[in-house]
Structure formats: C-alpha cells, structure tokens
C-alpha cells in the first residue's frame, strides 16, 4: 500500500509539473473578465437541468429539518448535469430575530477551506512555481516537524495530512489565542507518530503552512491570491477569507450552539485560513463545486483536478465517523484537501467542515456533474445526512432517511474531526 501511494503522488507531481500555462501579453485581463462573466451566468438556477432529484420531497424534508430544536439557519444548493438547479435558504440568521436565511446569506466554510488551499497550491505547481514532491522546508514556512522531518515531508504530504504528527496537533493552543506561526514552529518539539507519508492524521495548524507557501511563492497575501486567481475568475462575489469578510456582509449567519443560543464568533481558524478561513453564500459554494467538477477549465484545469481528487491514502475510520454502513459507502480515501468515496459503485468527491457555531458540506459526482452543498449556523451535525439523500436521488437508489428526521435519537455524522465539542476546524 505504501508503494501505491508514493506512485500516485509521483504521478500527480509529474502531471502538474508538465503543464506550465502561458498567456499572451496584454490579453490576460480581458480573457479573465470574459471568463468570469461566463461563469457568473452559471449562478442562475436552471430548472431545465433537473432530471434526477425530487425537489418537492427535498424541500419538504429541509423544511422539517430546520424545525429541529438544534437548527437555526440552513442554506442548500444542488447541481445537476453541470448546472445549478436549486438554491434556497431556511430558518434564521440569528435565532429569534426573524431575519431569514436566503441564498445570499454568508456562512463559514470551515474545513471546506482545505480544498481551496490545495487547489491554489496545485495551480502553482501546474505553473512550475511549486514542486509537490519537494520537502516543505524548501518553501521557508514556519512549520517545523520533529526530527527535522520537514526536510523529508513533501508538500504533497502536507496537503494530504501525512506529516507524521498526531491528530489535530496543537489545535487547543490556536483556540487559546496563540500565534499560529509560533505553534507551527513548536510542532518540531513533538515526537513523530510515524514517518512522513506513512500514516494519515488530520491537521489544522500545520495544514496552514499551505497559505505560507502561496504567500511566499507569489509575494502576495493569501486572501489576495485567492481572490485574484480563484474567487473572481469563478464568479464568487461573496467569497472572502477573513472575519470582516463575514461580518461586513449584508446578510450573514451568526454562530449558535446546538441549543440555538448565539455564541461568540471566534477568529481562531481565520488565523489559519488554509485550514478554515473561507466564507461565502450558498451560490458561491455551488459555483465552487461546478469548478471542481471541471466546468471551469480556464480556472482549474483537468490536470489540477486529477491531482486534487486522486485517492492517495485510505481513511478506514470514515464509515464509523459518518455512521454509514459498508453498503452503500465502501472505500474512503483522502487526496489533496478532498475526500473521495466508493458509494454504491460510484466514485464521489467531497468534504465536510465544522468550526464552533457552523457546519458545512460538499459532495459530488465528477462524472455526472451532479452534487449538493450545504451551510448551516449551529453545532448540530444532523444535516450531514443530506448529502447521501441527494446522491441517492441522483443515482435512483431507494429512499433512506439519512437525515434521521423520522428516527428520534439516531446517530448523526460527526464533522471532519471530533477533537472537541465544536471548536476545531474539521
């Protein structure tokens, strides 16, 4: 198994390294403007593309879901056949306020942000500015690994959570307000749990070395690079990577615990933006999913997508985390900032996220170009089952109550990592 993983990484590095993109002098700005306008047109809901999903049933179930005592607000988007077919908000931005969630309400993405960071690093690799197979130390980040392993662990190991350190290393120090740069340096004082590249442990503070790679290799702030090279070209007009980007929005979802009580908006994971800093409304998350499906090759090329979504390392505990049986959820993998699954004989790609007061999900079939995204503003994990109910509709599988609406006390999926009671970016 170790050998196959190394071959997969090597292939991805070769693929990216061989594709240096060139643009004609003076033409780039005009091309990007025209492309962004074309992508923005994809933000319009297209009922004509609806073929597989029962939208009446979906809407009824979402209305029932948001009435649960742990729910406050929810936004959901569905894509079928490469077009957005459903965008709708449910509930409130702030419990008891009467301020309704709409498709324009901005939420936090939490760990869906990791797919953004990995995409940006992979684009730099495609342009010959980053070597995914090179040691992290080459890129002068603040990350230090035990036994000088940062001189052996590759950028690919960073993006796929195979650094050799323990699960969610030092998240508690980040949440206590410490400088993430100092925390990354202090990781070097730990002991390795395995050699880099040989085991998988989910990370947040360490993962944000990806934002340092982007900044160091472009000479620009991370948020500026994302806006210039991803968000604007895709047409993501509400997307941002800062706390102010959330709170300055005309409509934004306030964080709540699972008891509908508003809680303090923490900035901890904004300080590790590659791990958990992105915000947007549901329309922009749906556009992001379209780009990851391959519908915007001028922004994210097929070569980059192939590298991002490649199944590099098995995550055998995934079924238990999601409370899913082997039928239909078979093998689970992690790539560069993305998970992938064998689901009832289909290959699907996605991720989940959670920071205190927010949860998120994205799941899609890149071949059918169909999938679902959701954002909500409380610490309940119950809406996680939505992704499998939608995929069952897409595949015409028998209905199953994955949302557990009709089963009181049923287990609900955990977020990307259950390191604490809602604080970590998952």
pLDDT of residue 67: 97
- Within a domain: residue 347? yes
CB 366, CB 383: distance < 8 Å: no
Q: What is the dihedral of CA 192, 198, 201, 202, to 10 degrees?
A: 120
Q: What is the CATH number of the domain that holds 337?
A: 3.40.710.10
pLDDT of residue 21: 40
Count of positions (residues) in the chain: 426
Tell me the per-residue pLDDT of 86-112, one tens digit each, with 9 for 90 and over. 999 999 999 999 999 999 999 999 999
- Within a domain: residue 24? no
Q: Give me Rg for the CA atoms of the chain.
A: 20
> Phi/psi of residue 289, each to 5°?
-65, -40
What residues in the chain have per-residue pLDDT under 70? 1-29, 408-426
pLDDT of residue 415: 60
pLDDT of residue 373: 98
- Within a domain: residue 29? no
Q: Which of 130, 115, 117, 116 is nearest to 19 (CA)?
A: 130
Cα separations in angstroms, 211 against 53, 253, 351: 37, 25, 19
> In which domain, by residue range, is 171 found?
2-16+35-394
CB 112, CB 360: distance < 8 Å: yes
Give Cβ neighbours of residue 216 (< 8 Å, ≥ 6 apart). Answer: 139, 140, 141
pLDDT of residue 412: 56
CB 53, CB 80: distance < 8 Å: yes
Core vs surface per residue 373-382: b (16+ CB within 10 A) or e: bbbbbbbbbb
- Within a domain: residue 420? no
- Within a domain: residue 280? yes
pLDDT of residue 11: 41
- Within a domain: residue 379? yes
- Within a domain: residue 112? yes
- Within a domain: residue 113? yes
Q: How many CB atoms lie within 10 A of CB 57?
A: 12
pLDDT of residue 320: 85
Q: How many CB atoms lie within 10 A of CB 212?
A: 20
Instruction: Give the chain's domain count.
Output: 1
């Amino acid at each position: 198994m170790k050998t196959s993983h190394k071959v997969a990484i090597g292939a991805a590095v070769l693929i990216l390294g061989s594709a240096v993109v060139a643009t004609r002098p003076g033409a780039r700005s005009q091309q990007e403007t025209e492309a962004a306008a074309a992508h923005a047109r994809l933000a319009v809901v297209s009922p004509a593309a609806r073929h597989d999903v029962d939208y009446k049933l979906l809407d009824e179930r979402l209305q029932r879901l948001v009435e649960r005592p742990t729910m406050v607000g929810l936004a959901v988007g569905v894509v079928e056949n490469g077009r957005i077919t459903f965008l709708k908000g449910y509930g409130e931005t702030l419990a008891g306020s009467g301020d309704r969630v709409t498709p324009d309400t901005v939420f936090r993405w939490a760990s869906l942000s990791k797919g953004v960071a990995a995409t940006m690093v992979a684009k730099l690799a495609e342009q010959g500015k980053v070597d995914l197979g090179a040691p992290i130390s080459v890129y002068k980040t603040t990350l230090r690994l035990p036994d000088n392993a940062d001189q052996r662990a590759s950028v690919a190991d960073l993006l796929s959570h195979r650094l050799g350190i323990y699960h969610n290393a030092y998240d508690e120090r980040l949440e206590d307000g410490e400088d993430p740069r100092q925390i990354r340096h202090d990781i070097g004082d730990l002991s390795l749990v395995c050699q880099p590249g040989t085991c998988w442990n989910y990370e947040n503070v360490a993962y944000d070395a990806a934002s340092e790679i982007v900044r160091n290799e472009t000479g620009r702030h991370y948020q500026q690079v994302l806006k210039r090279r991803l968000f604007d070209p895709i047409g993501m007009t509400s997307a941002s990577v800062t706390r102010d980007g959330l709170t300055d929005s005309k409509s934004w979802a306030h964080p709540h615990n699972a008891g509908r009580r508003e809680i303090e908006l923490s900035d901890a994971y904004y300080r590790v933006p590659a791990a958990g800093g992105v915000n947007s409304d549901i329309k922009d998350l749906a556009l992001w999913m379209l780009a990851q499906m391959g519908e915007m090759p001028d922004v994210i090329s097929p070569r980059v997508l192939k590298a991002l979504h490649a199944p590099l390392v098995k995550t055998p505990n995934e079924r238990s985390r999601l409370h899913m049986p082997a039928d239909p959820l078979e093998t689970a993998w992690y790539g560069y900032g993305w998970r992938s699954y064998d689901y009832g004989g289909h290959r699907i790609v996605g991720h989940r996220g959670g920071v205190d007061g927010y949860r998120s999900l994205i799941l899609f079939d890149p071949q059918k170009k169909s999938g679902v995204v959701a954002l909500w503003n409380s610490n309940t994990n119950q809406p996680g089952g939505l992704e499998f109910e939608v995929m069952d509709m897409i595949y015409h599988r028998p209905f199953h109550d994955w949302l557990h609406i009709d089963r009181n006390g049923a287990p609900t999926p955990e977020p990307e990592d259950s390191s604490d009671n809602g604080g970590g970016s998952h």
